[in-house]
Structure 1
Amino acid sequence: MRTHLPYIFVFFSFLFVSFSTPFYAFQKNTDKFVVVLDAGHGGNDPGNVGNGFKEKEIALNIVLAVGKSLEKHPNIKVIYTRKTDVFIPLRDRAKIANNANADLFVSIHCNSHHSSAHGTETFVLGLHENQRNFEIAKKENEVIFLEDDYKSHYEGFDPNSPESFIGLTLMQEEYLDQSTQLARLIQDNFAKTLNRVDRGVKQAGFWVLHSTYMPSVLVETGFLTYKPEGVYLNSAKGQGEVSLSIYKGIMDYKMKLDRNIGQNVYNDYSNIDTVNETVDVEDVSNNTAEKLYPNTVFKIQLAASSNKIEPKSYNFKGLKNISMEKEGKIFRYFCGNTSDYNEIKKMAEAAKSKGYRDSFIVAYQNGKRVKLSDAVNSASN
């Protein structure tokens, strides 16, 4: 029975997430970039209290400061798992992010160790690289023992058993690249702006990260058990500087999305006749009149990338009706969806004016992509 434990855990984790999250959590919001900020611990869970400092208070102060900075941007929506000193179960933190249709989940904590270890480190979900990472995750996960009837909520998960962590990584696997990118940007701001010791981007099995449907990181802002660092993190100056670095990391990440749709973007001219192909259609008395092809759907292919980016308007310079298709390891991104050829030509001009100079019109018939010339000619016959 022991050898099957990881697989049983994966199965029940899937059921837990699927049935405890409302359906609308899977329907992405398209108007704002949503960031969920999670202050670790709270209420009857003080977190670590190295040198008498309280993790729950420091984490909350930093979260509120990060949120205040983000809220100055009208295209960003901030949601907090807690804004006061209350206890929030781990399972509810991820659920808050999913129900908010969030684009990022950032959980903020303070570290502890029996040595003089100090510095910042940011975690993404993954199997432990070493015993130290396991111990950090273990401490954060043990908060489930404070919850009533925790066994029924966590389906046999045991923070003390390395076997229990095997199934955690599956949920977040598709967001690992984006989570790692965000984590690295946060760490870079700590190191370059504040000259903090950079302990790196690491992987470990944090329950609070595993059930989220978006890029997610857990930031360990420093060690309260290292007194100079504890004094710094407990001060208004330290909390202000740390929150600014995390805020800049989030904004750096968003700026990369705004600039284009991710790394490794390239022009993809597969399945079209010629680059920037246009097709002459029969003259109509009014250039604005509809030229409909009832059995055909036209779209504008904007780009292709090896990175998965949420198909949202703000990620594509405000263009509307964004969609995504995956073929192999490549994601293709489109705007528009119409059977009116005149309308799609206007959309193509709008896309080029936004900077997508190599974008082009594509056509679909019965859900299958076809050459644009074939679609138009077949409709004309």
Structure 2
Amino acid sequence: MTSYFIYLIKVTVCSGIFYGYYHFVLRNKKFHYWNRYYLLIAVMASLIIPFFHIPLSFSHEQVHQSPVLQTLNIISESGGENLLVDPAKNVSALPQLSSSTIILMAYLVVCLVTLIRFVKSIIKIHRLIADGKVQQMEDVYFINSTAEGTPFSFFRYIFWNKNIPLDTQEGKQIFKHELTHVHERHSYDKIFMQLVTVIYWCNPFFHIIKKELALIHEFIADHIASMNEDAAQYAEMILWKATTGKQLSFTNNFFYEQLKRRIAMITTSKQPSHQYLRKIMVLPLVIILIAAFAFRYKSLSPAFLKAEKPITIVIDAGHGGDDDGAIGENGLKEKNLTLEIAQTMKAIAKEKNITVLMSREGDSKVPLRERSDIANNNNADAVISIHVEAIGPGDDKEKYDGFEIFISKPEFPNREQSKQMAESIQNNITSLYKFNGIKTRQIGIWMAQSVNCPSVIMGCGYITNKKDAQFISNKENQKKVATAILDGVIHYLNKKKLGTDASKAIDSFPKSSFFADTKNKIVFFSDSIINKEKEQKDWGLVKTVYILNGETKEIAELTGKVFKCNSIISYPPNDDEARKNYGVLANNSIMIIDGAKYFAQYKSIFGQNPIVQKPTDDDGPVFTKTEVAASFPGGEVQWEKYVNTILNNFNANLILDKNSNGTLRLQFMVTKDGTLKNVKALNMQQSKLAEVMSNALVNGPKWMPAKQNGIAVNCYYETRVRFDAPGDIVSGYEPE
């Protein structure tokens, strides 16, 4: 139903553009036959072009680099197939009248009233034929009448007014005029336009075109009737005979009311300039309309996204066996939904260069440790655990809805990697359904923190919410969700390079209790590493064995120290190569640090409030944490004003870009003199928001540099900007 209204809008826009060209380029010009067929074809093209679905695909990057493609993409997608099945559909067996249904019914009522008026006019003409005396004159039928509006013609019938002598000069000219209408078949045009305006009565341009077409009929008939006659005398006759009598809208009446334009056209002998150019200029117009409304501009389907290298992921369908998980209305069970989604993901993954390891293939109960062992023992690249959430019986079921992602707590080694992967998945899920954010549970989640790779717990809506349950139970929606999750994982793993995770871990330090910078051969052991090892033991997780220069070291010997080394090699638990070299120690994770030299105590370098020094820039070391942070001139208040000004200037472009909705994380370096360098988006890299804000930082004012021990230093800085279309813009810092 909504698609039909969108179609009406597209038809109106097309007809408006076609008529606009006619009004400014062709109107009142003396190529009447061209104008007649132009208007008829314009109406038909306006009706047909929006029906065309010609697919034309562009890559995601091409679409985002071209504002034209972004605009055409929005136009072509409007009113297309619904991307999602309406989650509220069939919720109730009782018939309900939606607002769109009421509007459609009102629209059809107007169509019916207009159609009845049209039919009554046809009946009136039929009565004139039945009651009159019909005389055949060659190929036309002549009816002498005193009916209101005569003389006029209708198809092959000419209805004549008895008060006008046919044998006079004026009578002959009028008859010749009406005979032209018959021979040129103008009545077909009239009936066609009358039917169009019955169905599309809300389109003002069709009504205008109908009137213009009727006037063009008169131009053609006047031209032929006045040939070899005194044009001025013919025009004077039309003016003298003009009447205000009524006429049927689809008949050709001689005394048509647009007398001024008719007389001007009869008495003007000057031919319009640039006739050929005026006619052929319609071709670019048609091409533009087809490009805007007929082609379907699509970014390449997510199904085309493949992993650059083979990857292995574990898909964990939550619960199973005698553990039903959450239960919704009508006995809908979480264990069944999670398995359906997991199996859908496995089927789709085959085409994406992904090997899937399932924690369960059927309705069986698998202990948590066995589930995590599948990932750890097979050196999986990622873990996706599928769940559906629920609320207690005393809570408002309709209040809690939407998807969520859970990751491990900050102190676990895979936290930062899991967060990056979750953000990548989030970018896809938000375009499908309501998303509540990336979260952490205080008590922890086994599958999030018991594995040695990035891991996310997907909360696929609330089974206790009708809308969510309808959405996630639908097979097509399950495919969309499965594809969105897999593409998020692929996007994260494709861009993940050696050393990337190390850089990210440095940025989040000292949340991480241990960090090895393989590029710069530096190993950090923070004071909290003992607590981390204790929590791993409490959770029953494998611990990490540290072998420093060939000697196994207790964690207490390493706590609070920084080492420079020649090489850093890590092995996951139960690695075959590690087992050959280290025997039973390979039951654990192993970190081998060779050529290690004690560099300094952790606190002696970084002070009481740890400051992590990144690899040095050409102008000196670059810090991520300092005693005095870098800042925008005027502080956070002026920074927010600056951001809001930039976003307001680009508001229209950002609204058109569906990828710009959300929170953008930007990282850049503030040098000693306040210049900004190395500006990069940490997420939403392909969005217009990232482009706009990156340019605003590069081209904006200098910042106040960070200070350490009272001295200006280079420092990395991260900020966040949020854009919600079409709501308010919120910028600044947001808590994780």
Give the TM-score of the pair, scaled to structure 1: 0.49
